């Protein structure tokens, strides 16, 4: 067992058949993102990535709602900062926001795809989190809210940067300016989610099937594909093509290609080597 996955307060974590299942596990508190959440999420994801313990991560939650967003205790801790001298308060606040941004960015930066299974409400910081993931799926009773505007704060953890890459910008602006609910059918038609399922049980079963399909492929090629897609999103076409050629030139070997072809001919699953651990022992 990976030590970082033990004694968690906000998550349940299991790893089976190359799939890591992370469940937000504070249903009575609507899975709000408290101080423990902000410490545990990067610790868990980085540990799985560093150990190459899985080929896919599925992020889901327990209870009626996916997450109610930022927990009030985090804002209470922030309030203590305002007693500092004005310039130092501003500097500390900026660094605090950058730290929170980095927590959610681990979903984008880890080598394996992250699939999110959303039920009920996905509010505020929940939008920041799911837009940093690779794919989103939800139940028919799901709804999505950029709550920050209504609360009198700026959405500052990724929603305003990532969401316009997923759905039309005009729709993002409307959702952000009004803080209205986006229901599941609109989330599907706009492209925010890949599919909608009747209930949480069928949702999770379907997402696990997607994860299983991904895990059956070469983890090296899947990791490279994720990196190329993310790089291409943030750069122009010419830059993306150039980086892809560089990556392919350095990483391509016939090993996985030959195994994929043999597995297809023999009608079996491919047998691929795992990615190397990122922990180097001297």
pLDDT tens string 203-224? 999 999 999 999 999 999 999 9
Q: Cβ distance 219 to 112 under 8 Å?
A: yes
How does pLDDT run across 19-44, given as a tens digit for each residue?
999 999 999 999 999 999 999 999 99
Which residues does 19 contact at the CB level (< 8 Å), separation at least 6? 54, 55, 56, 57, 58, 208, 211, 212, 215
> Long-range pairs for 183-187 at CB < 8 Å and ≥24 separation?
183/142, 183/143, 184/138, 184/139, 184/140, 184/141, 184/142, 184/143, 187/136, 187/138, 187/142, 187/144
How does pLDDT run across 229-260, given as a tens digit for each residue?
999 999 999 999 999 999 999 888 889 999 98
Q: Supply the pLDDT for residue 93.
A: 87
Mean pLDDT of all residues in 59-85: 83
Q: What domains lie within the chain, and their CATH numbers?
A: 3-215 (3.90.226.10), 219-265 (1.10.12.10)
Q: Supply the pLDDT for residue 282.
A: 52
> Whole-angstrom Cα distance, residue 118 to residue 200?
8
Q: Supply the pLDDT for residue 92.
A: 85
Q: How confident is the model at residue 155 (pLDDT cuts 50, 70, 90)?
A: very high
């Amino acid at each position: 067992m990976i030590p970082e996955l033990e004694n968690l307060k906000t998550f349940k974590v299991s790893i089976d058949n190359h799939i890591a299942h992370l469940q937000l596990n504070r249903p009575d508190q609507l899975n709000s993102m408290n101080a423990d959440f902000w410490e545990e999420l990067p610790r868990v994801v980085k540990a799985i990535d560093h150990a190459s313990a899985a080929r896919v991560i599925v992020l889901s939650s327990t209870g009626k709602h996916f997450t109610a967003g930022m927990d009030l205790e985090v804002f209470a801790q922030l309030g203590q900062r305002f007693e500092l001298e004005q310039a130092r308060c501003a500097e500390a606040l900026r660094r605090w926001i950058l730290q929170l941004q980095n927590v959610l960015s681990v979903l984008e930066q880890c080598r394996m795809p992250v699939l999110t299974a959303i039920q009920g409400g996905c509010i505020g910081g929940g939008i920041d989190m799911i837009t940093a993931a690779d794919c989103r799926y939800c139940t028919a009773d799901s709804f999505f809210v950029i709550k920050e505007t209504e609360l009198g704060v700026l959405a500052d953890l990724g929603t305003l940067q990532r969401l316009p890459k997923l759905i039309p910008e005009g729709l993002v602006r409307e959702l952000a300016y009004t803080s209205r609910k986006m229901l599941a059918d609109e989330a599907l038609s706009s492209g925010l989610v890949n599919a909608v399922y009747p209930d949480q049980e069928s949702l999770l079963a379907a997402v696990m099937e997607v994860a299983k399909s991904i895990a059956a492929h070469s983890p090296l090629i899947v990791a490279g594909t994720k990196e190329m897609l993310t790089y291409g999103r943030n750069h122009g076409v010419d830059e993306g093509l150039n980086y892809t050629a560089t990556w392919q030139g350095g990483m391509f070997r016939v090993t996985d290609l030959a195994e994929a072809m043999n597995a297809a001919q023999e009608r079996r699953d491919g047998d691929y080597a795992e990615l190397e651990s990122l922990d180097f022992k001297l």
